[in-house]
Amino acid sequence: MISLLLLVTTLLTFATDSSTPPALKVETQLLGGKYCAGDDEVATHLMRLRVRYTNTSAKPIILYKGSNVVTTVMVSKSAADAVARRHELSLPLTTYQASGRPLSETTRLDNRFVILRKGASFETTVEVAVPFAKKGEAPAGTVAAGEHFLQVQLATWPESAELAETLRKRWRLRGYLWSGITESGPMRFKIDNQVQTIDCH
């Protein structure tokens, strides 16, 4: 009888607390890169990144697997500057997030989603472009060669906030449906000052 009461209490607590977001940690890792030709002054460092989402809270997180759309690229001179949001470059991107099969109010919790329990992770990949000055002082909208720290903001939901809230309430006993913009921690990377650029088109 006591065990049954504890189970009911746990379920009720989880159900009434469905609006409180859990904690989702986002990390990036450099998988590879190339230098793309531009003009006489500016080129682009195109990087392929692994993105790892990790649930750092006790509440399960329901994450859409298409969470690989970068909305903003931020570059800082140091990790401390990144944390303090003193970015030397911040590039908002115009993006379109295709969801494959459309999501709607009748959507089921299927293989388009992953449930992350405490400590569990989900990985995906993205490409990020950082414009840089080939020599001399960096023009506006670029960075100089050398060491930098990269952060990205990513969209995790392809539909409206209203639909997310509807499904979040419906699935609340399975976990918290994540739908907000996420931001990665600072990742160190380097742009070489003597590089061979290629045509990336």
Banded model confidence at residue 195, pLDDT cuts 50, 70, 90: confident
Record the tokens describing residue 47, joined without a space.
């990087």
Record the tokens describing residue 156, joined without a space.
């995790």
What lies within 8 Å, CB to CB, of 145 at 6+ separation is 132, 133, 134, 191, 192, 193
Q: What is the pLDDT of residue 79?
A: 97
Does 12 score more than 60 pLDDT? no
166 in Cβ contact with 4 (< 8 Å): no
Does 200 score more than 80 pLDDT? yes
Banded model confidence at residue 6, pLDDT cuts 50, 70, 90: very low
What are residue 182's DSSP bridge partners?
154
SS3 of 82, please? helix
Record the tokens describing residue 81, joined without a space.
């500057």
Domain boundaries, the chain: 31-191
- Supply the pTM of this predicted model: 0.87
Instruction: Give tens-digit pLDDT for 26-64.
Output: 999 999 999 999 888 899 999 999 999 999 999 999 999
Share of residues in the chain with pLDDT > 90 (%): 77
User: Which is higher by pLDDT, 20 or 143?
Assistant: 143
126 in Cβ contact with 70 (< 8 Å): yes
Owner of token pair 């682009």? 44
Q: What is the pLDDT of residue 98?
A: 58
Q: What is the pLDDT of residue 13?
A: 42
What lies within 8 Å, CB to CB, of 41 at 6+ separation is 133, 134, 135, 139
